[in-house]
A and B are shown apart, each in its own frame.
Chain A
Amino acid sequence: DIQMTQSPSSLSASVGDRVTITCRASQGMSDYLAWYQQKPGKVPKLLIYAASTLQSGVPSRFSGSGSGTDFTLTISSLQREDVATYYCQKYNSAPLTFGGGTKVEIK
């Protein structure tokens, strides 16, 4: 099975900073990758699918890139409401594994 490794596991950044989160797959998987945001005490929310396609209604400061084994989620200008844990998920085949998560905080 393909393993998904996210890094860093947590980060602290200032409002307005550019934030990048990485997800690495143990095998190539084309662009079958999604990103989710889970705010404290809330349900996960889909941000990006197909590695780089923004889900409807998601602010344009979020973007995704990558293909094969290396993927990134970028927040171009961090806002206070972006405090959350972010997860990647592979979906090229079962198991539909999630990464371990990256907790984003405001410095």
Chain B
Amino acid sequence: EVQLLESGGGLVQPGGSLRLSCAASGITFSSYAMSWVRQAPGKGLEWVSVICGSGGITYYADSVKGRFTMSRDNSKNTVYLQMNSLRAEDTAVYYCAKAPVQSCYKYFDYWGQGTLVTVSS
């Protein structure tokens, strides 16, 4: 059974940093691209970033480019999202989502339960 477990969310002040983690189980982790998708309270889904299965290529939404960095450790079956220079508008539930193949350009067949990030003073 595929499981994705996010962690690392919490309350942070504007301008601060936070690192999210997503641990995967039940899959050959390196074979799949992984993404972060966020959802602000009462709002729709917003794609944030993706890392291809090989781990070398990443893409970001314009809203986070230059502030967020996605990485993966295939030996730990874990992806990370380093979030710097956080703003109030980054407040959201952050979901980890798995693609069905290595390619970055895919849909998401499994989602984690999400971790809440609140940016507030």
Binding site for B on A (CB under 8 A): 1, 32, 34, 36, 38, 43-46, 49, 55, 85, 87, 89, 91-101
- Pairwise interchain contact B105-A100, C-beta atoms closer than 8 A: no
| 27 A-B residue pairs with CB within 8 Å | A1-B62, A32-B105, A34-B107, A34-B108, A36-B108, A43-B95, A43-B112, A43-B113, A44-B37, A46-B107, A46-B108, A46-B109, A89-B45, A89-B47, A89-B108, A91-B107, A92-B105, A94-B104, A95-B47, A95-B59, A96-B47, A96-B59, A96-B105, A98-B37, A99-B44, A100-B44, A101-B44
Binding site for A on B (CB under 8 A): 35, 37, 44-47, 50, 59-62, 95, 104-109, 111-114
- Pairwise interchain contact B62-A38, C-beta atoms closer than 8 A: no
How many A-B contacts at CB < 8 Å in the complex?
A: 59
Q: How far is the CA of A34 from the CA of B99 in the complex (A)?
A: 12
- Pairwise interchain contact B62-A43, C-beta atoms closer than 8 A: no
- CB neighbours (8 Å) of A46 from chain B are 107-109
Q: How far is the CA of A52 from the CA of B35 in the complex (A)?
A: 23
- CB neighbours (8 Å) of A95 from chain B are 47, 59-62
- CB neighbours (8 Å) of A49 from chain B are 107
Contacts A46-B109, A94-B105 aside, 12 further interface pairs with beta carbons under 8 A come to: A32-B105, A43-B95, A44-B45, A46-B108, A85-B44, A89-B45, A89-B47, A95-B59, A96-B35, A98-B47, A101-B44, A101-B45
B60 smallest CB distance to A (angstroms) = 8
A47 smallest CB distance to B (angstroms) = 10
Q: How far is the CA of A44 from the CA of B45 in the complex (A)?
A: 9
Given contacts A93-B105, A94-B105, contact A44 B111 (CB under 8 A): yes
Report the 3 A-B pairs with minimum CB-CB distance, sorted nearest first: A94-B59, A34-B107, A101-B44
